[in-house]
Structure 1
């Protein structure tokens, strides 16, 4: 599995886990935006180069073809080569991995969870004190459980939770049918501000 890294400066160090459609053009555009701000960004490709045209197709690959255990193995293999003192960023499926490492890997500097989050108790350890976390999702996204999954994160002292009007899932993906330019601009502004505070 490849881990694409790169930067144009030396600000925050970030790991970004892709969503169920893989490393699409929209995902790569988001990564490039972080790099253009001067951050060092690592982007593990746990789909081994495969991408899917819809979220449903990507979820089917993750659950039925590759299997969750295999994806976890690939991510763990990649994470073992990455530094611990990073900001963990995840998109949808990838937010599961970002949240896991932010909670359980000592040294995390923060977490940004796009399009979903899970209750901290899922990972068997409290959210680490002082580690900031942002959650971004649309208010009526059918993939997001605001009450059952996001609300426990919102209750954390370290949390900022942002709800955007609409029902799109991958709304900050420039090549997605869910793309919303206004929401994306606001999301990126908030993510960059979060990273600036960490720096």
Structure 2
């Protein structure tokens, strides 16, 4: 069993995000889902990102860091889209990280001023035609990470949806999510 901190996307703690966390719990993992938005949810990415711009990306990351205060250091950090920012920073900088799971996003390792830590495996999952992941350069950051880190994997799924794992959104892809969960659960079994 792994202990996971799963950070939400720009729409907040949607029913589909919570259901995704519950699927991991039903597989025997302990999953924390911090609310970085203080209870707010949004109907679309544009509105959610408008709220994030008001808060500031730095504040989102700091809220993620505060959310793990008091938790064990032996955590797997996971994030969906916007949630990748605190997840990736914590995986890179918090001692004891057991792994990282990055969905729909990846930022250059240099964003957090450090090389990727040794012995912290990472999986990155996204769609191969996601306009955000591919169009905004996250795919390049993901490929660079995979080239530089021994225990790193990039999984691309056929499609153009962003946030494809949230069953409450129109972007949900059940088939891609099922395959991703198989890969994810195998990863977690080793943690």
TM-score, length-scaled by structure 1: 0.90
The 5 Å alignment of 1:27-106 reads 27-64=17-54, 66-106=55-95
Deviation, 1:111, is 0.5
Deviation, 1:71, is 2.3
**Residue aligned with 1:84, SS:** coil
Deviation, 1:12, is 0.8
Q: How many residues align?
A: 187
Structure 2 unaligned runs (5+)? none
Query: Is 1:191 aligned to 2:184, yes or no?
Result: yes
Structure 1 unaligned runs (5+)? 1-10
CA contact (8 A) 1:118 1:153 kept: no
Q: Distance in 2 between matches of 1:159 and 1:40?
A: 23
**4+ residue stretches of structure 1 with deviation over 3 A?**
none
- The equivalent of 1:154 in structure 2 is 146
**Residue aligned with 2:190, SS:** helix
- The equivalent of 1:18 in structure 2 is 8
CA contact (8 A) 1:14 1:39 kept: yes
